[in-house]
Structure formats: C-alpha cells, structure tokens
Amino acid sequence: MSDDLWSRPTLSDLRTVLESIGKSDAEHGRVAERLELSVPAEITTSRGNTISAMTREISRHGIGLLHRGVVNPGEVTVRMASETREFNYRVSIEWCQPCENGMFISGGRFVTQSDASE
C-alpha cells in the first residue's frame, strides 16, 4: 500500500479487496449484467475534490469503484481514460463502505439526461 492516503489503489489492492469480500451468491435484483473492469479512474465530488480510484465493475446502469477515503452519497463525475479517449460520466453514488487496508468500495448509478431534469 502507498504511503499517500489519497493515492490511487493498485491492481494488487483491488485483487486483495475482491478476494476478501468474495463473490456473493445472493440475488441482488440486478437487471443488467455486470462486467469486471479494472481501470484507473478519478472521482470529482460536488465540492470539487478529486479522488483517485480504480473501477471494480460496470454495467449499463452503474459502476463500482475502489478508492481511499470515503465518498458521500450524491452526484459525482467519474473520469476514465483510454489511450485515445477520455470518458466522463455523471454518477449518483448510492453507497460507500470501508474495506481492507483503509480503502473503500462504492457503487452508483449513471445519471441520465432525464434524471437531471427531475
């Protein structure tokens, strides 16, 4: 683990956390299939704070994240970049809980244009 409390979790950190929580056989009522996705990301909160993160999984409706430091429920921007493009998503963080090594896992749903107008 890095000495910087706010540094981006590594793939090793992600594997450790995922192994510790294991796969759940419980039915979560999820409509969309979730795909494992481990790429660097940044979370920008409504206050403008930026938190380095790693994605855990993604679906058509939402995203799971791993990061150091708590992220309060509410709307954030999640930025992910590939070698050729940058992706910015508005996400409504619905939960955040502590896990191994002082890290947190969180999950949220993508905010659509119709959500924003409500």
CB 104 within 8 A of CB 66: yes
**For the chain, which residues score pLDDT lower than 50?**
1-2, 5, 24-28, 117-118
Predicted local distance difference test score (pLDDT) of residue 22: 57
Predicted local distance difference test score (pLDDT) of residue 101: 80
Delineate the domains of the chain, giving CATH numbers in brackets. Answer: 11-20+32-116 (2.40.10.220)
- pTM of the model as a whole: 0.72
Residue 60 and residue 35: Cα distance in Å, rounded?
10
Question: Residues for the chain: how many in total?
Answer: 118
Predicted local distance difference test score (pLDDT) of residue 1: 43
